[in-house]
Structures are given as structure tokens and as C-alpha cells.
Amino acid sequence: VNRTGLGSKGPNLTLFGIRTSLAAGWMRNDEENLSQWLKNSNDVKFGNLMWNGEGVDDDHPLRNLEDDDTKVNQLVAYLLGLK
């Protein structure tokens, strides 16, 4: 297990749905905040290391989430369901 995150493709999502905070304690873990975080994490916490969609095709399903409330709502439901 790479506990430093170096070389990893994303955060550890184990028990994500029961966590009380997001963004290293920056905000409460609820539907509204998670939605904002997924749409544009850099607006929420400037300089964070959240993936910004680089390195995949423009038509990748996770690109441009800020423009697709349906996808964001589906991701929020999935992530908050990880218990």
C-alpha cells in the first residue's frame, strides 16, 4: 500500500460514505459540498491535487463534470454509498 499517494491514480475511497470531511478536513462531507468538490475542486481549495481530467480524451465520461449535474449526482450517490 502506497500511503504517501506517490504514483497512485486517486485517493483511497474506503468507507468514503462515513467520512465526516472532504479535502483533508477542509469541508463537511455531504451531498452539496461533495458536488461542489467534484465539479471544480480548485475553486473549493486552490492548489489541491485532485485530478483535473488531464490525460484522457475530451469525450471521457469524467471530463467536464462542472457542466453535467446528472453525472455529478450519480457520482455523489455512489461515493456517499461507500460504507
pLDDT digits (tens, 9 = 90+) for 56-82: 677 777 777 778 899 999 999 999 999
Establish if 8 belongs to a structural domain.
Answer: no
Task: Tell me the residue range of the domain where 73 lies.
Answer: 16-80
Q: What span, in angstroms and rounded, lies between the C-alpha atoms of 33 and 22?
A: 8
Q: At what angle do helices 31-39 and 69-80 cross, to 10 degrees?
A: 130
- Percent of the chain at pLDDT > 70 equals 76
Evaluate if residue 7 carries a pLDDT over 80: no
Evaluate if residue 10 carries a pLDDT over 90: no
Establish if 54 belongs to a structural domain.
Answer: yes
Phi, psi of 54 (to 5 degrees): -70, 150
Q: What span, in angstroms and rounded, lies between the C-alpha atoms of 54 and 33?
A: 23
Q: What pTM was estimated for this model as a whole?
A: 0.73
What is the tally of structural domains in the chain?
Answer: 1
Q: What is the mean pLDDT of the chain?
A: 81
Residue of 4 and 50 predicted with greater confidence: 50
